[in-house]
Amino acid sequence: MTDRPEEDAGVADADLSDTTVLVTGSTSGIGREAALAFGRLGAEVLVHGRDEAAGETVVAEIERSAGDAQFFPADFTDVTAVRNLADAVRAHVGSLDVLANNAGGYFREAHLTEIGVEQTFHVNHLAPYLLTADLLPSLASDARVVTTSSGAHRGDPLDVEAVTTVDDYASFGAYQQSKLANVLFTKELARRFERSRGARTANCFHPGAIPGSNFARSLPGPIPRLIQSLDVLPFVPSPADGAATLLYLAVSDRVADVSGRYFADCAPATPDDPARDREAQRRLWTESAELLGIPEPLQDTADETAKDEERQTEETQTDETAKDEERQTDETASDEETRAETHD
C-alpha cells in the first residue's frame, strides 16, 4: 500500500482533466484522501463537509496539484442544506462525472433530526439519497455514483419503520442499519439507471477498518485519540488505503460497465443476504422518498418491475459467481499456505 490511493487502484495514469467530481465528506479521512487523489489526476473537485477551514485546506492542497477545487458546505442532518448543496452544485457544473457519496458518521448519542428521523440513518443514507436524487439532472450520461458503505452492514435486515424513533437506541445497530441502507440504495439505483438506458453506474464499497480517520470522533474522552494512534502501526490501513477502492470504482476502465455491486480491496465482494433482498431494495427507495416528502426519483412502473424479476435471476447468478471467486481465492491462498508449510 502507498499513500496514493490512485496507485493502489491502478489508475495513476488516468487523465481526469475534463472530469468533475463531487466527494461528500472530503474535509477529513477517506474522502479527503480521495479528493486529493482526484486533484492529482487533474479533476475539478467539489469538496464537501461542514468544517469550512478543513474544506478550504483541502481546496488549497488540490489547487497546488494538477486539479481545481471549490468547497461546498452542507450539514447532512438538514434537508434544506442538502437541497441547497444540490442547487449550488447544479449551478456550478455543466455535468457531474463522479458523485462519491462518502460523508458519514457513527453517533454515540441518540438524536432525531428535524424531520423525525434517527440521525445516523439520516446522515448516512437519507442525505445521500436526497443529494443523488436532486443531482440526477446534472449527472453525465456515463456518470459513476460511488457510495462508501462498510463491512459493518452485515447483521439484521433493514427496519425502516424503526428509524423514526430513538427508543432503545444502540449506536452500533443504528450504524449497521445505515450502512446496509447504502448497499440496498446502490443496488436499487443501479437497477433504475439501467432502465433509464444511460451508461450511468452505481457501486458501493467497504473501505476497510481505518483508525486514522476522524470516524470515532463521537466516542467519549480520549477514545478517539487512542483509536487514531493505531494509524502509526505497520499493516494498519490508512485513510489513503481506504480511498483506493473509491478511486478504482470512480476511474478504472475495468469497472466502466459494472453496476449494482459491492466491492472491497478493489475487487467485487458478496454483501450480506439482507442487502441482496430485492423487495427491501425497492421498499427502501420508496420509503426514503416518503420520509423526505419528495416524489419518488427515477420512478418505477409495473412493466419494469416484471423485467426486474428476470434480472434478479441473473444477479443472483453473478453474486454466486463472486462467492465462487472468493472461495477460489481462499482455496488458492490456503493451498499456497500448505505448500509454504510443507517447504518449511
Ligand X SMILES: NC(=O)c1ccc[n+]([C@@H]2O[C@H](COP(=O)([O-])OP(=O)(O)OC[C@H]3O[C@@H](n4cnc5c(N)ncnc54)[C@H](OP(=O)(O)O)[C@@H]3O)[C@@H](O)[C@H]2O)c1
Residue in the shown chain whose Cβ atom is closest to ligand X: 29
Name which position in 39, 105, 260, 271 contacts ligand X (CB under 6 A).
105
Q: For ligand X, which is the closer residue by CB, 57 or 252?
A: 57
Q: For ligand X, which is the closer residue by CB, 65 or 218?
A: 218
- Name residues contacting ligand X, limited to 212-251 (CB under 6 A): 213-215, 217, 239
Q: For residue 56, state whether it binds ligand X (rule: CB under 6 A).
A: no
Q: Give least dist CB 138 to ligand X, A.
A: 20
At 207, which helix (H) or strand (E)?
A: none
**Contact status, residue 132 vs residue 101, Cβ threshold 8 Å:** yes
Name which position in 38, 71, 72, 76 contacts ligand X (CB under 6 A).
76
Q: Which among 202, 170, 9, 20 has a CA at the least distance from the CA of 95?
A: 20
Write down the H helix ranges in 127-200.
Answer: 127-135, 171-195
- Name residues contacting ligand X, limited to 7-46 (CB under 6 A): 25-31
Name which position in 104, 260, 268, 271 contacts ligand X (CB under 6 A).
104
Q: For ligand X, which is the closer residue by CB, 31 or 268?
A: 31
Residue 98: all three cell numbers together: 463522479
* Residues belonging to the chain: 344
CA 9 to chain centre: 16
Q: Give least dist CB 267 to ligand X, A.
A: 16
Residue 156: all three cell numbers together: 439484521
List the beta bridge partners of residue 50.
none
Name which position in 39, 49, 67, 260 contacts ligand X (CB under 6 A).
49
Whether 175 sits among the annotated catalytic residues: the reply is: yes
* Alpha carbon distances (Å) from 15 to 6, 26, 139: 11, 21, 19
**Contact status, residue 118 vs residue 165, Cβ threshold 8 Å:** yes
Residue 229: all three cell numbers together: 494512534
Q: For ligand X, which is the closer residue by CB, 237 or 268?
A: 237
Residues that bind ligand X (CB under 6 A): 25-31, 49-51, 54, 75-77, 102-105, 123, 148, 150, 207, 209-210, 213-215, 217, 239
Which residues are catalytic, by number? 175
